[in-house]
Structure 1
Amino acid sequence: MVNLKDPKLFINRELSWLRFNTRVLEEAQNRKNPLLERLKFIAIYGTNLDEFYMIRVAGLKELFKSRVIVTGPDKMSPLNQLKAIRNYLHKEKITVQNTFFEIVQSLEKEGLKLKKYDELDDKTKKEVDEYFYTNLYPVIIPIAVDATHPFPHLNNLSFALVIKLADLQNENEIKYGLVRIPRVLPRFIEIKSTYVPIESVVQKHIEDLFPGYKLISSAPFRVTRNADITIEEEEADDFMEILEEGLRLRRKGEIVRLEIGADVDQDLLNFLNSHIKVYKDDIYRFDMPLNMGSFWQIVSNKDFAHLLFEPYTPKILPPLDSKEPIFSIIESQDILLYHPYESFDPVVRFIEEASNDPDVLAIRMTLYRVGKDSPVVKALIEAAEAGKQVTAMVELKARFDEENNLIWAKALEDAGAHVIYGIPGFKVHAKIAQVIKKENGIIKQYSHIATGNYNPSTARIYTDVSYFTTRRDITDDATRFFHFLTGFSKKGKLNTLYMSPTQIKQKLLSLIDAETKKKSEGRIIAKMNSLVDPDIIVALYKASRAGVKIDLIVRGICCLRPKVKDISQNIRVISIVGKYLEHARIFYFKHSSPKIFISSADWMPRNLERRIELMTPIYEKELSEKLYEILNLQINDNVLARELQENGEYIRLDSKGRTPVNSQLVMEEYTNMLYTSNKKSSVSRAKKLARRLLKES
């Protein structure tokens, strides 16, 4: 009897994530990518790693302290996971630095330079000195640390210099201190396309900040704290106050990582760590500038835009390109958009037209990550102020967007909207909007359901699916869903849509089982961000053993181990990392009716069991064919795709002797063809031309 729950059949979640971030780093190493795009991938890599340490590593440390022995289906202990993570990252640090310095050297040939203060010519040094006294000296904070000056609190991700000084009157009298560099200051000082790390400038002027003392040594450093907020939800009226307190506590969480300049002397490091107490293997020494996420400042230089990917303008395709009211268009047909190739503007237009339409009675939406300058929320505020019934489910527990969501929630409340802050015990991660109109005495319902957030900014760089419909079975379920959010319900089930935590996992397992029963005729293609749920993985193993052919497109974490003889030999897993962040969740089951589903949920326990999510069947033939073509294109990608091996490693696919297929580039060409062909020919002919391109790829 084969044990499909054998720990050897599961890849560790954290190590799988690290390999995902390595794939991001590989894009920085890829010399076929433009130089600033390569630097951007290092920035993304660093930002990802910050969050990983703040949440995942911090969580493992808590489990270790609590003496938890085993976590996850792979049965790897928290201590062994921590050891593996540290070993992995210390080795990878060498690759990160080599890649960074190679990019910097290449950028210098293009006229964009990154130099320390000491590497500047005399004229530029004078300009930087003037900048220091005018812009930095009044703002930076010199801090003495001694018996009368306690070591200061360091906020999460705070950046500073640790220094050792000698009294000019008595060189044997050694002093220690810090210079804090506030976040309001730029990470790099830009002088005529030369970027100077701010710490190298401050370091040169330490003796101006501490008169009467001579600088012996200094080092830049950065701390990472446990940033996970655990909130015991109590009365709803207190929830915003509880969250605000949680955000304050985030700044005081245990320090879990120290990044410091590689040339720090041991005495200075000992002084610093005597106060912050970071475990030795969580100290990372870097020759390159700390805070990789700050490289966005350089990437954003518009004078060097030619060193980025050629910009793509999202297209508005028929029938949405007409001036006809969007509600009339949706009434005439279901519409499915694939962002960012197809513009997010119609989604914004959907809410803005609803806000201004006198026949609209109500607008209901879930808001998870909406961005800082959200036209969607502004339209909701205008609708509420105009007297329309506006209901907004603002998820205050959207990690690292909590403060922004608090601001929007208060603004909506002030405008008269009914704001819900969440469901006790669950995050609301579903993406759905509903508009209710009354025309000639008849109530009409319009729904928009998506795989991604109502955020126009991220919709230009995330691939996601948007679906507009007036199907009565779906719009009725949308109403039930919002009633569930605003009221009390023990049922928590829908009739056509599927909702977690009560329905999605059960439905997925039944869909996989139905394909399993078809044996070698079964077929599953599923695209998602992460695959972690052990019950789903076991079901996929059973399907593979029965002969079902399974293709999984999993961008990030994948705990399923493919290509294991007699277990998962029929399962292929690829990850696509490229210009756009693959964020859509699309599932195809050959013998289901309908065959295609879209969802806000990844196949993870948190999404399927601890969040409010939606999975939507796509009935309309043309729309389901469009989604199937997207899946089919991606499983044939041999440029951006890496394939997961049995040992947990990923390898690039070999396109030698085959036509290179970059699925993201093909989608740009596909959409461009639809757009340009429509100007000259019928919509149906344009679609045929574009789809031929997909099939040829």
Structure 2
Amino acid sequence: MPDTAEATEEPSSTRLPSSVGASIEDGPVPGEAFGHPTDTFDVEPPYVPDPTEIAAVEKFEDRFLDRELSWLHFNQRVLELAEDPTVPLLERARFLAIFASNLDEFFMVRVAGLKRRIAAHVAVRAASGLMPREQLEQLWATSRELMKRHALVFNEQVIPDLRDEGIEIVRWSDLDRDERSVCKKLFKDRIFPVLTPLAVDPAHPFPYISGLSLNLAVLVRHPKTGTEHFARVKVPPIFSRFVPVGNQRFVPLEDVIGEHLKKLFPGMEVVHAHTFRVTRNEDLEVEEDDAENLLAALEKELLRRKFGPPVRLEVEESIDPTVLDLLVSELGVRREEVTRLQGPLDLRGLHSIADLPRDDLKFPAFVPTTHAHLAEFESAKPVDVFDAVRRQDVLLHHPYDSFATSVQRFLEQAAADPHVLAIKQTLYRTSGDSPIIDALIDAAQAGKQVLVIVEIKARFDEQANIRWARKLEHAGCHVVYGLVGLKTHCKLSMVVRDEPDGIRRYTHIGTGNYNPKTARLYEDLGLLTADPAVGEDVAHLFNNLSGISRNTTYDGLLVAPDNVRNGLIEQIHAEIANHQSGRPAGIRIKANSIVDEALIDALYLASQAGVPVELLIRGICALRPGVPGLSETITVRSILGRFLEHSRVFCFVNDDSPRVWIGSADLMHRNLDRRVEVLVRLPEGPNVDAVGELLDRSFSPETNAWELASDGEWHRNTGDLHLHQALIDRQRKRR
């Protein structure tokens, strides 16, 4: 499973969703946050229920779970996968690395945001009822417990299990003479030349410690005078985190450096050496004067990110008190922001252990297959994607359906097709060697009109997206950075083709990024269609993004910030009306997170009316299910495993004529108010049936999943059906 960085999204990651209520990310009204009037773009007015509806839900004052604590519970579920002995061993090691990476980002963004609000005396109560300081205290208590549990799982479960399989992660004292000789030579030849010890004395101030770097705090003593000096040695990130010493044995890099510190401080006695690690505020704050200055402003802010204030200090539990006092004082962290852990620190490096060539300790190999409507049959030539999509819509389900032989082929064929006149594309995150970028460049160089909407504010991918934007510009593409005050998060691709019967538009609307690498790890849906109505809607939206048009009326799309929230609430109320009239009704939603209060209250109203509501939420859920009188008909599940559940699906029974929407929007403030998001409605037929089958499997009592209780706690249902493996098996049978 990849990081929850939506691309950590989101690097992969896994990226962190926005908060409920008064989060630092929610901030001012869109537009005002960037020094512009709010009429820079249209924002839908909030849905206002009638007074009786308000009274029906507002009497439950504690109806919202805390968004931040819910995220920590999500990362706890990741940790539980590392603890699960039925998960292949190296995959358990990878889940430990993912947990560590996720928690780093949580502190860099969410905890840092709370600290900023407290420092600025912005004491606004969150929707959960907690004040910022109360939130912070609970987050520290919960996260500290999880960090210690994480270290315990690694040292007392995963390390012994790895040892039983012939893979050993040991400390320096466990190495034999030959292994120490290997490390000594490595230190002399490669590590020593790049180390830079930084002393602290009247002539040398305390050095700047970069965020997430691993460091050695070294105390040395002059043998004659007895004077002690502090020095910092950074563990170089260019070397493998765990040093191989032969026979699948590994030692932490800091152990190798720590054992050879005398080489760095000749003539001095090394008294203490302890590893430590600082997490800093690394969220970006960009003031957008206009799109022309956005690149320069963002690049400046990326430099500032490196110097954000600290929010967490991790140290090994054996650290000397004097050294710890010095670190706390010089770094400016509070005692409650210090976490003592059983070493080694920074287990993100376990990805290298998980990558070892031991297939017997990993998930069985899986190769995505080409969608049946795009598959080659007797001909050795690839299927003409345009011909296939003209015949029927193609609903793709990644990673089971190959991204390379569907979306990637769609764009590559468009770039090479002389009948294609134009390609329009959004890019939020993509891979470093992206064939999508190459196809767009090829199309521009072939004389086609190519428009690319690049979101250079995609968190933690900003630098990469700036690089791609400039490369595309140099190739002749028209590159636009979207609308001021909004992130362009929708996943759209449109090809305009000149055909014998006239101009035809082919579109792809997806739930995931145009990233071939994450498409093998993230579960996503995408629709390839030649439907003229959808094509016209997408064309209007691209004009909105690249020009000054502000069309807000679409036939087959819901578009944020214009009408996603209200559109979904209208669908929910339609289900309430159906149920009250005795017609079939029901709601099923699959999303990464749900925190928007207006939508949650609408779902509560549906439940109070008796409408069955099933939610499949991978990450954050601020809705409290199963509360008598409020949410008795609502159930919430979460599925984690081999793939990262990433698609967003909104399904309404609609008197047995299901209405199904898929798209890029989660049910969060940032998605509904501060991003350009798109949901497309699937026409009734086999594609709607396919989505229904997927949801049936997901909500089956036999499916292994976590279920949310009304008190906010998640409990695992260890059913026999593992969704990802079941879908892999189904795909293999179809070959």
Give the structure-2-normalised TM-score: 0.89
In 1: Cα distance, 2:386 partner to 2:663 partner? 23
Tell whether the 8 Å contact from 1:5 to 1:538 is kept in structure 2 after alignment. no
Is the CA contact (8 Å cut-off) linking 1:532 and 1:557 kept in structure 2? Answer: yes
Task: Report what 1:650 is aligned to.
Answer: 714
| CA positional deviation for 1:155 | 1.8
| 1:639 shift after superposition | 4.5
Equivalent residue number for residue 591 of structure 1: 654
* Per-residue deviation, residues 339-390 of structure 1 (Å, max 9, x unmatched): 1111111110011111111111111100001111111011111111221111
> 1:281 — aligned with what?
336
Structure 1, unmatched stretches of 5+, are 676-697
1:111 aligned partner: 166
**Of 555, 571, 574, which aligns to 1:511?**
571
Kindly state the Cα deviation for residue 317 of structure 1 after the two structures are TM-superposed. Answer: 3.0
Determine the structure 2 residue equivalent to 1:215: 270
Instruction: Give the conservation status (yes or no) of the 8 Å contact 2:423–2:493.
Output: yes
- Name the CA distance, whole Å, in 2 between partners of 1:662 and 1:440: 48
Letter in 2 for 1:636: S
Q: Deviations over 1:637-692 (max 9, x none)?
A: 5453111001000111254xxxx2222111111111112xxxxxxxxxxxxxxxxx
| Letter aligned with residue 413 of structure 2 | E
Alignment check: 8 A CA contact 2:57 2:630 kept: no
Q: What SS is found at the alignment partner of 1:634?
A: helix
Residue by residue over 1:76-110, the C-alpha shift from the partner in whole angstroms, topping out at 9 and shown as x without a partner, is 11100110011112222332122112111110111
CA distance in 2, matches of 1:71, 1:360: 54
How far apart in 2 are the matches of 1:288 and 1:177? 20
- Give how far 1:558 is off: 0.2
Give the aligned partner of residue 625 of structure 2: 562
| CA distance in structure 1 between the partners assigned to 2:95 and 2:317 by the alignment | 23
Name whichever of 154-163 and 344-353 sits farther off: 154-163
Structure-to-structure mapping, 1:305-320, within 5 angstroms: 305-320=359-374
Aligned partners of 1:334 and 1:620 also within 8 Å = no
Find the partner of 2:79 among 14, 17, 25. 25
Letter in 1 for 2:124: V
Counterpart Cα distance in 2 of 1:119 and 1:637 = 47
Does residue 444 of the first structure (1) align with residue 504 of the second (2)? yes
Question: How far apart in 2 are the matches of 1:362 and 1:15?
Answer: 46
User: Residue by residue, what CA displacement relative to the aligned partner does 1:584-624 show, whole Å, maximum 9, x if unpaired?
Assistant: 10111011765111010001111011110001000040011
Instruction: Indicate the structure whose relative CO is greater, using CA pairs within 8 Å and at least 6 residues apart.
Output: 2
Q: State the Cα distance separating 1:15 from its structure 2 match.
A: 0.4
Give yes or no for contact 1:594–1:619 (8 Å, CA) kept in 2. Answer: no
Q: Which residue of 2 aligns with 1:537?
A: 600
What is the RMSD computed on CA atoms of the aligned residues?
Answer: 1.3
2:411 to 326, 351, 354: 351
Which shows bigger deviation, 584-593 or 397-406? 584-593
User: How far apart in 1 are the matches of 2:540 and 2:338?
Assistant: 51
User: What's 1:377 paired with?
Assistant: 437
Residue matched to 2:64: 10
Equivalent of 1:68 in 122, 128, 134 = 122
**2:399: which partner in 1?**
340
Determine if contact 1:446/1:470 at 8 Å carries over to the other structure.
yes
SS in 2 for 1:257: strand
Structure-1 separation of matches of 2:384 and 2:417: 10
CA contact (8 A) 1:100 1:288 kept: no
Name 1:254's counterpart in structure 2: 309
Residue in structure 2 matched with residue 402 of structure 1 by the alignment: 462
Q: CA, structure 1 residues 46+7, in 2 after alignment: closer, same or farther (shift >3 Å)?
A: farther
1:35 is aligned to 2:94? no
Structure 1: how far apart are the matches of 2:148 and 2:617? 27
Report how many aligned residue pairs link the two structures.
669
Q: Deviations over 1:280-312 (max 9, x none)?
A: 12111121321121110111112x232111121
Q: Which residue of 1 aligns with 2:188?
A: 133
Contact 2:682 2:688 (C-alpha < 8 Å) held by counterparts: yes
Q: What is the rounded CA distance, in whole Å, between the counterparts of 1:269 and 1:638 in structure 2?
A: 50
- Aligned match for 1:457, one of 505, 517, 527: 517
Task: Give 1:119 shift.
Answer: 1.3
Over 3 Å counting, the alpha-carbon distance change for 1:645 and 1:207 in structure 2 is same
Say whether the 8 Å CA contact 1:578–1:640 is kept in structure 2: no
The AA in structure 2 aligned to 1:22 is Q
Match of 1:146 among 187, 201, 208: 201
Amino acid at match of 2:132: P
Q: Secondary structure at the match of 1:190?
A: strand
| Mapped pair 1:234 → 2:294 | no
Amino acid at match of 1:190: P
Deviates more, 1:67-76 or 1:276-285: 67-76
- Aligned residue in 2 for 1:692: none
Instruction: Find the aligned partners of 2:271 and 2:62 in 1 and give their Cα distance.
Output: 53
Q: What is the one-letter code of the residue matched to 2:516?
A: P
Counterpart for residue 696 of structure 2? 632
> Where does structure 2 lack aligned partners over 5 or more consecutive residues?
1-54, 377-381
Deviation at 1:248, TM superposition (A): 0.5
Structure 1 pair 240–299 and aligned structure 2 pair: CA distance change class (3 A): same
Give the one of 99, 102, 124 matched to 1:45.
Answer: 99
Distance 1:88 1:68 in 2: 23
Cα contact 2:148–2:341 (8 A) shared by 1:
no
User: CA shift at 1:247, angstroms?
Assistant: 0.6
Q: 492, 496, 505: which one pairs with 2:552?
A: 492
Question: What is the rounded CA distance, in whole Å, between the counterparts of 1:389 and 1:103 in structure 2?
Answer: 54
Kindly, what percent of the aligned residue pairs are identical? 38
**Partner of residue 668, structure 1:** 728
Among 639, 643, 666, which residue is 1:576 paired with?
A: 639
Cα distance, 1:69 vs. partner? Answer: 2.1
Shift of 1:492: 3.2
Question: 1:78 matched to which residue of 2?
Answer: 132
Which deviates the most, 483-492 or 466-475?
Answer: 483-492
Q: Which amino acid aligns with 2:543?
A: H
Matched position secondary structure for 2:372? coil
| Residues 620/426 of structure 1: CA separation in 2 closer, same or farther (3 Å cut) | same
Aligned counterpart for 1:607 among listed residues 668, 671, 693: 671
Q: 1:82–1:612: structure 2 CA closer, same or farther, 3 Å change rule?
A: same
Distance 1:5 1:644 in 2: 22
Residue identity in the other structure for 1:645: A
Contact 1:362-1:389 within 8 A present in 2 as well: yes
SS in 2 for 1:464: strand
Is the 1:218–1:268 contact (alpha carbons within 8 Å) kept by the matching residues of 2? no
Distance 2:702 2:330 in 1: 50
Check 1:283–1:493 CA distance in 2 against 1; reply closer, same or farther (3 A cut): farther
| Corresponding residue SS for 2:62 | helix
> How far did 1:441 drift?
7.1
Deviations 1:28-73 (A, max 9, x none): 0000011111111111111100000000000000111121223431
Matched letter for residue 327 of structure 1: F
For residues 552 and 191 of structure 2, the distance between their equivalents in structure 1, rounded to whole angstroms, comes to 56
Q: Aligned partners of 2:290, 2:243: CA distance in 1, in Å?
A: 48
Question: Is 1:90 matched up with 2:144?
Answer: yes
Q: Secondary structure at the match of 1:137?
A: helix
User: Normalized against structure 1, the TM-score is what?
Assistant: 0.94
Change (3 A) 1:637 1:162: farther
Contact 2:57-2:604 at 8 Å conserved across structures: no
Q: In the alignment, does 2:683 pair up with 1:619? A: yes
CA–CA distance in 1 between the matches of 2:210 and 2:61? 39
- Quote how far apart the aligned CAs of 1:494 are: 2.1
Contact 2:57 2:605 in 1 (8 A): no
